[in-house]
Amino acid sequence: MTSRFKAVIFDLDGVITDTAHYHYLAWKRLADSVDAPFDAAFNEQLKGVDRMGSLDLILARAPRTYTLEEKRALADAKNTHYQQLIATMTPDDLLPGALRALEEVRAAGLHIGLASVSRNAFTVLDRLGIRDRFDDVVDAATIVNGKPDPEIFLTAAAHLGVDPKDCLGVEDAAAGVASIKDAGMFAVGVGSPEVLHRADRVIPSMDAFRLQDY
């Protein structure tokens, strides 16, 4: 199978695996500790936002303000709890269709990149047993600006040696789709067309991903 693209760059959370529930549990415990209201609906606002950005959104609802040092301690506590949760992950936690998509892209001879704002991306990939499937991984430690800034996808394209216009990006969050589009790439959104309205194509799940469709 041939493709008009030279590389496919995937997001991690919500595309390759679903760590959203683990993030929810970790953020919920933190929010409870600072008396900030937190529920599943508010948690949706954190999708695609980096750790400190998510923390700022939560603390904006807390009854008092926090110093930078206190924020760092809270972020570290959240991450420690999250790491404990993801330590239980296995290859069974790959989302349906994710592994087939990776295999399809590889079979087509395209480069495969990962663009994740998670600082635990490598740990998750190792737990899933798919770290070697990616030619390059760009995580939060590699970049200055998180999504929706295009930096993370531009960095991934540069590492892969591919022009952004020759890249296809796959994301499940509006901020991620914005990052892909502003990087000058073709965007495939996974989820709701109403939420991912900037995507060039929207599919309901990775089970529906077919490289030949793009």
> How far is 46 from 175, CA to CA, in rounded Å?
10
> How far is 109 from 157, CA to CA, in rounded Å?
16
* Backbone φ, ψ for residue 188 (5° rounding): -110, 120
Q: Which of the residues 13, 50, 166, 172 is marked catalytic?
A: 13
The DSSP bridge partners found for residue 202 are 189
Give me 130's structure tokens: 């798919």
The DSSP bridge partners found for residue 94 are 17
Give me 201's structure tokens: 């194509």
Contact (Cβ atoms closer than 8 angstroms) between residue 84 and residue 192: no
Residues 6+ apart with CB under 8 A from 196: 171, 172, 174, 177, 189, 190, 202
Quick check: is 93 catalytic?
no
* Backbone φ, ψ for residue 117 (5° rounding): -80, 0
Q: Which of the residues 11, 136, 139, 182 is marked catalytic?
A: 11
Quick check: is 39 catalytic?
no
> How far is 31 from 74, CA to CA, in rounded Å?
10
Residues with a catalytic annotation lie at: 11, 13
